[in-house]
Amino acid sequence: MDLTFSPEEEAFRQEVRAFIEETKPNLPKDPGGEGHVDSREDYLAWHKALYRKGWVAPLWPKQFGGTGWNVTQRYIFNEEVANAEMPTTLPFGLNMVAPVIFTYGNDEQKKKFLPRILSGEDWWCQGYSEPGAGSDLASLRTRAVRDGDYYIVNGQKTWTTLAQFADWIFCLVRTNTEVKQQEGITFLLIDMKSPGISVKPIIVLDGAHEVNEVFFDNVKVPVANRVGEENKGWTYAKFLLVNERSGIAGVARSKRQVERLKQIARAELLDGRPLIDNEEFAYRVADLEIDLAALEFTELRTLAVESKGQMAGPESSILKIRGTEIQQRITELTLEAVGYYGLPNERTFGANEYVGPDYAAGAAGRYFNVRKTSIFGGSNEIQRNIIAKAVLGL
């Protein structure tokens, strides 16, 4: 594998850097260095800056507003965005439901939904998981009954990320209970302003309102908002999950976080010496970097396959497993490095400020939050089963 960049590719890198420097919105600084923001406006500020430049959808076909970039350009862009600690664009519209729509949707759906996803006018959330139907997604029970030109939807979705901001939700619903579970599921696009939809917040361990429960009480959904065929939604769901799992790997941001970890380890002292000089700690950081480099090469090979028009298969499961495990190891080492400054929710008396250095702020919250990554997008245990069947033939 040739890891050198051509003069044209280096020129593209400089173009990306210049664009970020000139146009990055004035967002609250994330002490964790991940570009995390909290409000709808902050999320959309970077999205819309990219949209104006024509760079918001690198994974889309050019005919629908994609960039037309090759694999190397996408790799460079992701690296530079991570290094600049810019927020990630929300994946639910751009990287999850949009590929389903432009691959399986009809012309009317493409015209209606894709431009508004591209511009950021519509904020999407994902209606997959339910109480009792997470890793075993096919056991979902949210029901949709056909009534003329509408489906009447009843049920509940949970762990719905940022549903409090969403305009639309893409949902898996059960439309046939008399067949094998996977054969009775339909893929619907539902307006979150529809009567009968209610959103209840779930406050997580670090105090953030990131996820929600969404309830459907006799919600009327036009049949025109069904993607593809009735009872064939499992096919579209699997297609979407492949895209989600590949994106979860987060190699560029993990590389940035490892560099931040090493900076912390140089600042923190153990027995009067920088923590990075401790042989055991330095070994664990080096071991982490080696695994991350191996994951990066795997991601590049996967991107090369996709650039030829082929669909990623079990590779997406490999990326998901290793990527999320590495993310968790980074937060574990970071929390260990900051020591007692990483106590959860430790604030100065009478003020909403963290105790200790800025780099320790929120370390515990990120540690707790990243526990979820080995579960969402299909738990890592399920991904290992997929690999066993697809690669090993077990």
pLDDT in tens, 278-303: 999 999 999 999 999 999 988 888 77
Please work out, in degrees rounded to the nearest 5, the angle formed at the alpha carbon of residue 331 by the alpha carbons of 329 and 336: 95
User: So what's the pLDDT on residue 347?
Assistant: 46
Position 351 scores a pLDDT of 46
pLDDT digits (tens, 9 = 90+) for 92-136: 999 999 999 999 999 999 999 999 999 999 999 999 999 988 778
Please check whether residue 256 is in contact with residue 82, taking contact to mean a CB–CB distance below 8 angstroms: yes
Q: What's the average model confidence in pLDDT over 206-211?
A: 82
Catalytic residue among 244, 306, 315, 336: 244
What is the pLDDT confidence band of residue 208, given thresholds at 50, 70 and 90?
confident
Of the pLDDT bands very low, low, confident and very high (cuts 50, 70, 90), residue 348 is very low
The DSSP-derived string for 196-217 is TEEEEEEE-TTS-EEEEEEEEE
Q: Parallel, antiparallel, or unpaired for β 273-274 and 124-127?
A: unpaired
**Residue 125: other Cβ atoms inside 10 A:** 27
pLDDT, mean of residues 79-90: 89
Whole-number Å distance between alpha carbons of 8 and 30: 33
CATH number, domain 249-390: 1.20.140.10
In this prediction, residue 20 carries a pLDDT of 94
> Which pLDDT does position 349 carry in this prediction?
41
The average pLDDT across 57-75 equals 91
> Which structure tokens are listed for 155?
């049920």
* Phi-psi region at 105: left, alpha or beta (left = phi > 0; alpha = psi -120 to 50): beta
Confidence of residue 243 (pLDDT cuts 50, 70, 90): low
Q: How high is the pLDDT of residue 300?
A: 80
Mean pLDDT to the nearest integer, 70-95 = 90
Residue 344 binned pLDDT confidence (cut-offs 50, 70, 90): low
pLDDT of 187 reads 98
Residue 43 pLDDT grade (very low, low, confident, very high; cuts 50, 70, 90): confident
pLDDT at 302: 77
Domain residue spans of the chain:
7-89, 124-235, 249-390
Residue 244 annotated in active site: yes
CATH topology assigned to domain 124-235: Butyryl-CoA Dehydrogenase, subunit A; domain 2 (2.40.110)
Residue 221's H or E segment, with its range, is strand 209-222
pLDDT at 198 over 80: yes
User: CA 166, 168, 172, 173: dihedral to nearest 10 degrees?
Assistant: 110
pLDDT > 90? residue 41 = no
The model's pTM is: 0.85
Q: For residue 354, is pLDDT > 90?
A: no
**pLDDT surpassing 60 at residue 345:** no
Give the confidence band of 373 by pLDDT, cuts at 50, 70, 90.
confident
Res 362 pLDDT > 90: no
The mean per-residue pLDDT over the stretch 67-75 comes to: 88
Cβ contact 393:377 at 8 Å:
no
Q: Check if the beta carbon of residue 24 is closer than 8 Å to that of residue 95.
A: no
Q: If you average pLDDT over every residue of the chain, what do you get? A: 88
Instruction: State residue 63's pLDDT score.
Output: 96
Beta-sheet pairing, 168-174 with 226-227: unpaired
